Chain A
Amino acid sequence: MSLEDDVAVIVVSDGAGSARHSEQGATGAVEVVTQVLRETAPWSDPEDVKERVLVACRSEMIKRAKALKCSVAELAATLAFVAVAGDIFIAGSLGDGIVAAFRGSRSEVLIEPVRGEFANETVFLTSSRAKEHLRIAKKPQDDYSGFAIMSDGAAESLYQRREGSLAPALSKILLWLDEQTSKDVREAIQESAMPLLINRTLDDCSLAVLRRVRVDMDALGKKSAAFQMELLGSKNIRGLRSRLAILEGYRQGLQVQAVSEVVGLSERTVRRHIRAIKMLLS
């Protein structure tokens, strides 16, 4: 996942079991797709994004196949992604991964997996039919509060194939992010969730979640310092204290000079904090 320049991106790429260097294909796909999604935000033309994603993946795989002295097919991998910029999001999937979205307590599958008639058939980035099967959805973020993407191995336990419904575990994980830092949640996924998922499939399991965390000021004061630091983008406790004080002054409508006097920081520093706060609150 990356969170740069106001664009949040999650990408999952799952290497084909039969392809010798599929982990290389998957790694390359995650890198270049993240870059394309950042560069093309806010994705005014989804078809152009689709084209650029495929071209970037193809070029990367050709490059890696040359370095590995193998065919491009040996790097076969699926792809699923979600990117959010401001109040717009774009999601895409090629293959048997799942893209899910959450609104309040409701969850929905945004993009269903593409599978062949048989259990071991799907479409990969290296397939000649990749363009035909890469599905893209661009929508206003509206009241969507979170997204999850997963490989088919993780979907064994998180996606009900018959009903097309999602496991309660996903909503639970997203709610963790309202209370805990992303580092704690990442550790919890690794230590608690992943062993459960891995035990129930023979396939690899990948899961990525993206959550828009909203906390009112009163509730923020009751959160841990680590959570406050992450939410407000502070690097240390001292920076957090300054930012909280500036945030309070900003909320009260004080001028920069007045805030500067209250918190004991230069007007330049206060302006820098306010710019960061505005970005976080946008």
Chain B
Amino acid sequence: MANELVLDTEDLIENPTPRVPITLCLDTSYSMSGEPIRELMEGVALFYESVFDDEIARYSAEISIVTFGNQGVQRYADFGPVERIPRTPLVADGNTPMGEAVCDALAILEKRKREYQNTGVDYYQPWLVLMTDGMPTDDINEAIKRVVSMVNQKKLSVFPIGIGHDADMDILSQFSPARPPLRLQGLKFREFFEWLSASVQRVSASTPGEEVPLDLDGIKGWGTL
């Protein structure tokens, strides 16, 4: 090879890493008081850490959090780099305005997609993770209609997760036309978020045409159908 036939990195182009926008829609109603809210908080922090530890997912995954319960619907964490772990303690109180929270989560995801489009950043199908230990106290019809429509058009991946035995799995199933909701075994938030992080890592590393199936065996460690 002739010596002068060499390329340098400055001869190349940097494109932004395609993003995976994820919104966690978390129940912080009164019934989550005590150990459940503490375990949830720890699980969320673990999720951020675990995604950060993967060198591909670290630059792909963007996480935002909407809570419903204490002080109604709250935007607890906006999209941002995963090294910024939200540290404000979650407080469990109030009702369960799930319908409003899900609509807000969809609005956040749509806004983020527009930002990607405006700045020329590629992105994967957004994820919505809905976690609750009870049943909604507001109207959820609009939220269900919008989520189902997006899932059917392959515009959204939804993960409805019931916490404990009081979670209304029938309601959760209405949000998920493609697969049944999952019930968390006990308070295995850590196991769930580890599994979620591994799933994000697989999507971040996928290439065009590649459909990434869920790790169904991995679910057995923390959830039941």
List A residues at the B interface (Cβ < 8 Å): 16-19, 22, 76, 78, 95-96, 115, 117-122, 124, 152-153, 156-163, 165-169, 172-173, 176, 179-180, 184-185, 187-188, 191-193, 196-197, 200, 202-204
By size class, the interface of chain B is 20 to 34
Q: When the two chains form the complex, which single residue of B12, B18, B203 contacts A158, counting CB atoms closer than 8 Å?
A: B12
Asked if residues A196 and B208 are in contact (CB atoms below 8 Å), the reply is no
- Given contacts A120-B124, A167-B11, is CB(A16)–CB(B2) below 8 Å? no
Asked if B122 CB lies within 8 Å of chain A CBs, one says yes
Q: Does B56 contact A (CB under 8 A)?
A: yes
B88 is an interface residue with CB less than 8 A from chain A:
no
Residue B205 lies at the interface, judged by CB distance under 8 Å to chain A: yes
State whether B209 touches A167 (Cβ < 8 A): no
Cβ 8 A contact of A196, one of B1, B9, B122, B211:
B9
Cβ of B8 to closest chain A Cβ, rounded Å: 8
The 10 closest A-B pairs by CB, nearest first: A162-B120, A16-B209, A188-B5, A17-B210, A119-B18, A17-B207, A169-B11, A18-B210, A119-B122, A157-B12
- Chain B residues closer than 8 Å to A118, beta-carbon distance: 122-125
Q: Which of B190-225 contact A (CB under 8 A)?
A: 203, 205-212
Minimum CB–CB distance from A131 to chain B (whole Å) comes to 18
- Chain A residues, CB < 8 A from B119: 162
Considering only residues 116-131 of chain B, those with a C-beta below 8 Å from chain A are 119-120, 122-125
Contact of A160 among B13, B208, B210, B211 (CB under 8 A): B13
Give per-residue flags for B86-128: 1 if the beta carbon is below 8 A from chain A beta carbons, else 0: 0000000000000000000000000000000001101111000
Q: In the bound complex, how far is the Cα of B125 from the Cα of A173, in angstroms?
A: 36
Instruction: Say whether B123 contacts A184, CB under 8 Å.
Output: no
Residues of B within 8 A of A200 (CB): 12
Chain B contacts with A in 2-39, Cβ cutoff 8 A: 2, 5-7, 9-13, 15, 18
Give the most central of A118, A157, A162, A173: most B CB within 10 Å. A118
A122 to chain B: which residues have CB within 8 Å?
Answer: 208-209
Contact check: which of B5, B15, B209 meets A161 at CB < 8 Å?
B15
Give the distance to chain A from B119, nearest Cβ to Cβ, in Å: 7
In angstroms, Cα B15 to Cα A165, docked, is: 11
CA distance A231 to B41 in the complex (A): 69
B15 / chain A contacts, CB cutoff of 8 Å: 156-157, 159-162
Number of A-B residue pairs at CB separation under 8 A:
107
Query: Shortest distance in angstroms between A262's beta carbon and chain B's nearest beta carbon?
Result: 34
Known A159-B13, A202-B56; contact A124-B7, beta-carbon cutoff 8 A? no
Cα distance A96–B120 in the bound complex, in angstroms: 16
Q: Does B165 contact A (CB under 8 A)?
A: no
Q: Are B13 and A120 in contact, CB atoms less than 8 angstroms apart?
A: no
Pairwise interchain contact A202-B205, C-beta atoms closer than 8 A = yes
| A112–chain B nearest beta-carbon distance, Å | 13
- The listed residue (B7, B123, B210, B211) touching A192 by CB distance below 8 A is B7
Contact across chains for A172 and B7 when beta carbons are under 8 A apart: yes
When chains A and B are docked, how far (Å) is the Cα of A61 from the Cα of B107?
A: 43
Instruction: Answer yes or no: B155 CB below 8 A from chain A CBs.
Output: yes
Chain A residue nearest in CB terms to B208: A122
- A203 lies within 8 A of B209 (CB): no
B2 contact from A17, A153, A188, A202, Cβ within 8 A? A188
Determine the residue in chain B with the shortest Cβ distance to A19.
Answer: B209
Instruction: For A173, list chain B residues within 8 Å (CB).
Output: 7
Q: A118-B124, A118-B125, A167-B11 are in contact. Are A184 and B209 (CB under 8 A)?
A: no
Collect the chain A residues with CB atoms within 8 Å of residue B155's CB. 117
Given contacts A118-B125, A119-B122, A192-B6, contact A169 B205 (CB under 8 A): no
Nearest neighbor of A196 in chain B, beta-carbon distance = B7
**What 0/1 pattern do residues 144 to 162 of B give for CB contact below 8 A with A?**
0000000000010000000
> What is the minimal beta-carbon distance from A20 to any residue of chain B, in angstroms?
12
A158 and B209 contact, CB distance less than 8 A: no
The answer to whether B5 touches A120 (Cβ under 8 A) is: no
- By the criterion CB–CB under 8 Å, are A152 and B12 in contact? no
A–B Cβ pairs within 8 angstroms, 21 of them: A17-B210, A22-B209, A76-B209, A118-B122, A119-B208, A120-B203, A120-B210, A120-B211, A152-B208, A158-B12, A158-B13, A160-B13, A162-B120, A169-B7, A173-B7, A179-B2, A184-B1, A188-B5, A192-B6, A196-B9, A203-B208
Structural contact, B11 and A168, CB atoms closer than 8 A: yes
Tell me the nearest residue of chain B to A170, going by C-beta: B11
B209 touches A120 (CB 8 A): yes
Known contacts A17-B207, A120-B124, A202-B207: does B5 contact A180 (CB below 8 Å)? yes
Bound CA–CA A196/B155 (angstroms): 34
